[in-house]
Structures are given as structure tokens and as C-alpha cells.
Amino acid sequence: MLLMEKVALLTRQNETFALAMIIESKGSTPRHVGKMIVYRDGTIEGTVGGGLAEHYIIQESVKAIQNGQSKIVEYKLNRHAKDGIQMSCGGTLRVFIEVYTSRPELVLCGAGHLGHALAKLADFLELPYCIIDDRVDFCTKERFPNATNLFVDKDIEKALLAANLNEKSYVVIVTKDGDDIVLKTALQFPIAYVGMVASKRKVIHIFNKLKSKGVNEEQLDRVHSPIGLEMGAETTAEIAISIIGEIIQVSKGKKPLKVKQLNS
């Protein structure tokens, strides 16, 4: 497989990685052209020349992935030059490190009005999403033509388990009447985010119910509820925007995964 074919595949698989590309080479350097995929753990595919320069480029690529920002780096391959690295080639190398960040994968638990509004907004933002529901007439391809998957079962817990939740999953709970079941199930997995639409009174009731079933405080601290950014949202569309806004903040590392404080 060609390197750029692998880049396309990783992008389709919604992976996070960096692509380091030589954009300028002056004088004597190991390579004048080259591309290299760098993963979060520092493993690579391809090369930009090997040696000490490549070692530094891998380190900078991992940092760029962690920061979520692309960058350009430059190295003087001359141990005797000011700011040079311990190489004897003598040339100069500039490399563009492009970061590909995985997008949130939405798991919309609830195919009602708010779930539908969230799906339309996800379509606009090109965010992948699946739909979970226990109602066959709501969870349909006609209502959600761009969903990656539809998981429907009279037992909504089974429907959610079929979605194979993982560390990329951003779970939004907007069910008709199964919030407690869905939340308890979701908290069993290392998901990136879980939020629930509910009044403060309902949140307290559900939390107490889950505690009686063995769910601990640390797990409940992961829950965003009331869900969404504090922006005075009232309409279904506005609430959907506030929820997606919060998810974007969390996915960018701009907000801690901690429940909003509730007033008793």
C-alpha cells in the first residue's frame, strides 16, 4: 500500500496521526523528498531520511499530535553550525508536520426530535454518528439517512451494547424513558464523553438510583448533565447546538470531563 493510500485509510478510520513531509532541502541532506506517518506512540511508516534528524522529527510530530496543531520544523544538519544538530551532512531540512485529529464519533441514544436535530447538525459538521433506540418506527434509515449505523432493540441496553462503545465514543442520552439504563450501561466503557438531557431534579433521582445499583461517584463525575453549553438555549435546534458545542470543547481538550454542579 502506498503511503498516501494509508493516509486516506487512516482518515476514513477516524484515526489520529501526523504526516511529516519534506518541503525544502538545501545542500547535502539524507533525502530531498520524503513522507512519514507518525502515530501517537512514536511508531512510524515511511521515512524522511533516517538518522538523528528523523529522530527529532518524530519527537516533534508526537508533540504536535498531543497539541493538536500542525507545524513546520527546520534543522541544520551541521554539528559545527549555530543551532545545528549532531550530523555532518551540512545541509538544511524543512519539514511540514500535518496533524490529522480524529473527529468525535457521536452515539445518539434517542431517535426523537432532539436526536433528529443533533443528527442534522452532525451531518452539517460531517461528524460520524450512530442512532440507538428501542422504537422501530423512529430509528429508521429514512429519518437518519447519513447515520453510520442504526441500533434498534426493544431492550435499549442491547441496542447500546451493539454499538461497541470505545474511547472515541461521545454518548448523548436523549431517550424517551430509558436514560437510567443507557447511562448505567455507557459508564461501563472507557468512552470519551457522556451527557444526558435532564432537569436537575431528574439528574439527582437517576444518580441516586444508579448509586443504589453499585455505580460509584467517580463514574458519575464523568457525566455532563444538565448537558450542553450554558447559552440560554430554549428551542430544540438551540439545545442541539449547545450539546454539539460542548462535545467540540471536550474533544479539543478545552474542558474537564466533570459533571456540572447541581443545586439541591
Q: What is the 3-state secondary structure (H, E, C) of 76-106?
A: ECCCCCCCECCCCCCCEEEEEEEEECCCCEE
Residue 213 amino acid letter: K
Q: Is 3 exposed, middle or buried (0-12, 13-18, 19+ CB in 10 A)?
A: middle
Question: Taking the model in full, what pTM does it have?
Answer: 0.74
Q: Tell the residue number behind the cell numbers 441496553, with chain if given.
A: 157
57-78 per-position pLDDT tens digit: 999 999 999 988 999 999 888 7
- Residue 247: per-residue pLDDT: 94
- Residue 54: per-residue pLDDT: 92
228-251 per-position pLDDT tens digit: 998 888 899 999 999 999 999 898
SS3 166: coil
168 with 192: CB under 8 angstroms?
yes
User: pLDDT per position in the chain (264 positions), as tens?
Assistant: 799 999 999 988 888 999 999 999 888 888 889 999 999 999 999 999 888 889 999 999 999 999 889 999 998 887 777 777 777 787 888 999 999 988 889 999 999 999 999 999 999 998 999 999 999 999 999 999 999 999 999 999 999 999 999 988 999 999 999 999 999 999 999 999 999 998 889 999 999 999 999 999 999 999 998 899 988 888 999 999 999 999 998 988 765 444 444 433
Q: Which domains does the chain have, with CATH numbers?
A: 3-100 (no CATH), 105-251 (3.40.50.720)
97 with 20: CB under 8 angstroms?
yes
Which residues are within 8 A (CB) of 170 and not within 5 positions of it... i.e. 6 or more apart? 104, 105, 106, 107, 191, 192, 193, 194, 247, 250, 251
- Residue 172: per-residue pLDDT: 97
